[in-house]
């Protein structure tokens, strides 16, 4: 049976604006569905039902009084729990931050709520966004709505599972090396990583500061465009925020794509790619071609170094960023330390999980005296080459199409003891972060077992409108985005 949670974000907001829908009823429905499915999915770390209901009640009252309400009025959403909020705790999926209550909200949270969206809670993630499955969360693993024995992906697995399961129509995630796109692919929904600097990172707890970017998660390209239009734009509080005007992403959706040039690089279709994933993505590219686009071969010679380059730069930045969690200022502190060294080491040993410790050690090693030039500096040089490859390709094509991940969602526990295998889940996504370009995952089919497959589109800097346009036009001739997992 169709409910208001099954209709698009814009339709929910429009219904609330004209009084056809009640914000209070929609939020109540969302909260009830979260309560019902949380034991199966474990998508949320925290839910603030009372606050959400109060905000919904105020929106209904404002509408009844004839006052202006925002573009997202009454739409229940969620944010990944590495974005600060002034309500509830911010945990980053880690024991070391419990309890931490931020004094200011993240810029994107303020933007959402200024537009009338109602943040009902905060979603699960791999600890400090370090992982590809949410199995690294200190609290629990989020399950995939299509098969609860499988991962939802990571690190934004809670947000993608919540949207795929129709708990909420939209959410925000963060993407450092694929953490929006990979779980979006695994869960069969749309996930967009904007250009670096397109969306303010103010209030996002840092993992890799030159790589992190916040982006929208939704069921359709149109919904993602509407969410992006609310959160995109310059923020003077973030020194890396681009002072670049944001276009009307929704208005750009209906442009015809005839004549657009789609680049396909064989580097994304090599060994290790599941044959069903490859066939499904190639069929999706052919569907875009049938709408009048031209498919051209391109070459990205340094893409093969992406994983090695990423896991040096990201871990080096993580080593620096996570040094602040020392038991002195906030968060967990070990009881009765013997001395100041014991305070630091025991606090961090008790508070951080195994994967975070691994990445801190890798990054610290890469930055250490005698190894800096051999590892970190070399990785920065390779990053420049990867960036140059994309710049060269975009002189010949408008977008680049590829798989999002080499496989469909894998069983929970399958890769837990093999970090390298887990890192390789990001092999097709990390290069977009290294180059700083935008990239989107859109659902493009299912494998024989009924699990979703995602196609990735990458664009030139600040070309989110073009990616969303192509994604939307693809969704006009396919219905993969309308499929729903069989949950209660």
As a whole number of angstroms, the distance between CA 171 and CA 188 comes to 14
Q: How far is it, in rounded angstroms, from Cα 227 to Cα 224?
A: 5
The span from the CA of 432 to the CA of 193, in Å, is: 9
Query: Between vectors from CA 233 to CA 5 and to CA 51, what angle results, nearest 5°?
Result: 40
DSSP class of residue 377 equals I
In angstroms, the CA 69 to CA 71 distance is 7
Which position among 179, 185, 200, 319 bears the catalytic label? Answer: 179
Compute the chain's Rg from CA coordinates: 21
The closest alpha carbon to 352, from 366, 332, 338, 337, belongs to: 332
Task: Name, in order, each residue with C-beta under 8 angstroms of 252's C-beta and a sequence gap of 6 or more.
Answer: 225, 465, 466, 468, 469
Which of 94, 132, 155, 229 is catalytic? The answer is 155
Catalytic residue among 80, 122, 193, 415: 80
Longest distance between any two alpha carbons in the chain, whole Å: 70
In the Cβ-directed half-sphere of 269, how many Cα atoms lie within 13 Å?
A: 21
Catalytic site includes residue 80: yes
Is residue 381 part of the annotated active site? The answer reads no
How many CB atoms are located within 10 Å of the residue 19 CB? 10
| Cis peptide, bond prior to residue 299, ω within 30 of zero | no
Catalytic residues: 80, 155, 179
């Amino acid at each position: 049976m169709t409910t208001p949670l099954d209709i698009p974000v814009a339709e929910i907001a429009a219904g609330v604006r004209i009084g056809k829908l009640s914000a209070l009823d929609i939020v109540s429905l969302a909260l009830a569905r979260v309560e019902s499915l949380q034991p199966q999915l474990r998508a949320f770390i925290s839910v603030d039902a009372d606050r959400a209901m109060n905000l919904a009640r105020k929106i209904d009252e404002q509408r009844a009084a004839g006052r202006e309400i925002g573009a997202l009025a009454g739409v229940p959403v969620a944010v990944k729990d590495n974005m600060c909020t002034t309500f509830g705790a911010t945990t980053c999926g880690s024991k070391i931050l419990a309890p931490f209550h931020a004094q200011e909200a993240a810029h994107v949270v303020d933007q959402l709520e200024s537009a009338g969206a109602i943040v009902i809670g905060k979603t699960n993630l791999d600890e400090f966004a370090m992982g590809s499955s949410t199995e690294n969360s200190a609290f629990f693993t989020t399950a995939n709505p299509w098969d609860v024995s499988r991962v939802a992906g990571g690190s934004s697995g809670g947000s993608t599972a919540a949207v795929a399961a129709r708990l909420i129509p939209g959410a925000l995630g963060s993407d450092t090396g694929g953490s929006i796109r990979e779980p979006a692919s695994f869960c069969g929904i749309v996930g967009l990583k904007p250009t670096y600097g397109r969306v303010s990172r103010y209030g996002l707890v840092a993992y890799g500061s030159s790589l992190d970017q916040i982006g929208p998660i939704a069921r359709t390209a149109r919904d993602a465009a509407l969410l992006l239009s609310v959160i995109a734009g310059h923020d003077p509080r973030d020194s890396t925020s681009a002072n670049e005007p944001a276009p009307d992403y929704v208005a750009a959706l209906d442009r015809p794509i005839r004549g657009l040039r789609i680049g396909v690089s064989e580097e994304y279709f090599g060994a290790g790619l599941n044959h069903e994933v490859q066939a499904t993505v190639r069929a999706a590219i052919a569907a875009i071609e049938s709408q009048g686009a031209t498919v051209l071969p391109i070459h990205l010679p340094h893409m093969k170094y992406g994983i090695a380059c990423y896991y040096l730069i990201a871990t080096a930045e993580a080593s620096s960023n996570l040094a602040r969690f020392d038991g002195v200022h906030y968060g967990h502190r070990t009881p009765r330390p013997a001395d100041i060294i014991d305070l630091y080491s025991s606090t961090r040993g008790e508070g951080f999980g195994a994967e975070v410790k691994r990445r801190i050690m890798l990054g610290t090693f890469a930055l250490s005296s005698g190894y800096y030039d051999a590892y970190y500096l070399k990785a920065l040089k390779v990053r420049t080459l990867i960036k140059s490859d994309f710049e060269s390709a975009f002189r010949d094509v408008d977008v680049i199409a590829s798989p999002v991940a080499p496989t469909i969602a894998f069983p929970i526990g399958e890769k837990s003891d093999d970090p390298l295998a887990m890192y390789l889940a990001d092999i097709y996504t990390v290069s977009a972060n290294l180059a700083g370009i935008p990239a989107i995952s859109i659902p493009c089919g299912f494998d024989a077992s009924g699990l979703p497959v995602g196609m990735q589109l990458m664009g030139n800097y600040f070309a989110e409108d073009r990616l969303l346009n192509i994604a939307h036009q693809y969704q006009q001739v396919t219905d993969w985005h309308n499929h729903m997992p069989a949950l209660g």
